[in-house]
C-alpha cells in the first residue's frame, strides 16, 4: 500500500508516464511511444512556444466533468485509461496572434512566418484558415500531424475559442523511453525565437 501511495505522489507531482495512443503528433511522437513527462516543468518557468505538453482537455476539448474518486485512482495507478488527456505542441502563448496561412503558406505568430521542421511529411501547416488572439492565461496548441490532429483549430467559435487554460497543463513531454529502440529526447521544438517573439 505504501508503495502505491508513493507512486501516486510521484506521478501527481514530479514525473509521470504516458502512452501515445493517436497519430496526431507524428512523426515527433508515434502511437505506442511511452512518454516521460515532467510535472515540475512549469512550476517556475513559463510555457514556451514549441513545448510539447500534456493537458487535461476537460473544459476545452471536452465538456467539463469532475471525475469520481474511483476513476481518478484507477487512472493514476494506470489500471484504466483517461480519454480526457491530450498531447500537443504549443504554438501561441498569451499575447500572441496566430494565423494561417500567409502568402508563403506558413503559419505566422505575431505577423512573422513560423518555421516548422517538425511537421508530418507532406502535411501543410493547416488546411483551415484562421486568425486567433491568445488571451492571458491561455495557449494555442496544434498537433504535428496537422491533417489528422483535432486541436485548437477545431474549437474556433466555441467558448474559449480553441484556447487551452494554462491551469489544465499537466506537464511537459521530455523523453520517449519506450520502446527502447525508439528511446530519444523529445526536444522543445522552438524555432525563430527572435522573429516570433511576443509583443512588448
Catalytic annotation, residues: 24, 88
Query: Among residues 3, 21, 41, 12, which one has the least CA distance to residue 143?
Result: 21
CA distance 136 to 134: 7
The helix/strand count (H/E) of the chain reads as 3, 12
User: Among residues 169, 163, 116, which one has the least CA distance to residue 136?
Assistant: 163
- Angle at the Cα of 3 (from 41 to 178), degrees rounded to 5? 50
| Helices marked H in 14-80 | 41-44, 69-76
Q: Let me know: does 56 contact 168? Beta carbons within 8 Å.
A: yes
Please tell me the distance from the alpha carbon of residue 62 to that of residue 85, in angstroms, as a whole number: 10
Amino acid at each position: 500500500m505504501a508503495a502505491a501511495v508513493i507512486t501516486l505522489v510521484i506521478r501527481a507531482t514530479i514525473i509521470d508516464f504516458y502512452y501515445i495512443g493517436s497519430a496526431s503528433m507524428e512523426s515527433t511522437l508515434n502511437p505506442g511511444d511511452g512518454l516521460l513527462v515532467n510535472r515540475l516543468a512549469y512550476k517556475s518557468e513559463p510555457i514556451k512556444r514549441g513545448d510539447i505538453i500534456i493537458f487535461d482537455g476537460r473544459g476545452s476539448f471536452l465538456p467539463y466533468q469532475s471525475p469520481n474518486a474511483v476513476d481518478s485512482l484507477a487512472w493514476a495507478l494506470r489500471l484504466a485509461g483517461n480519454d480526457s488527456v491530450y498531447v500537443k505542441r504549443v504554438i501561441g502563448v498569451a499575447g500572441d496572434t496566430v494565423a494561417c496561412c500567409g502568402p508563403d503558406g506558413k503559419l505566422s505568430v505575431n505577423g512573422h512566418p513560423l518555421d516548422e521542421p517538425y511537421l508530418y511529411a507532406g502535411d501543410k501547416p493547416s488546411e483551415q484558415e484562421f486568425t486567433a488572439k491568445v488571451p492571458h492565461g491561455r495557449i494555442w496548441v496544434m498537433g504535428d500531424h496537422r491533417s489528422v490532429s483535432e486541436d485548437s483549430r477545431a474549437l474556433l467559435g466555441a467558448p474559449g475559442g480553441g484556447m487551452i487554460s494554462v491551469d489544465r497543463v499537466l506537464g511537459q513531454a521530455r523523453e520517449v523511453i519506450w520502446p527502447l529502440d525508439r528511446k530519444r529526447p523529445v526536444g522543445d521544438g522552438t524555432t525563430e525565437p527572435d522573429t516570433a517573439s511576443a509583443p512588448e
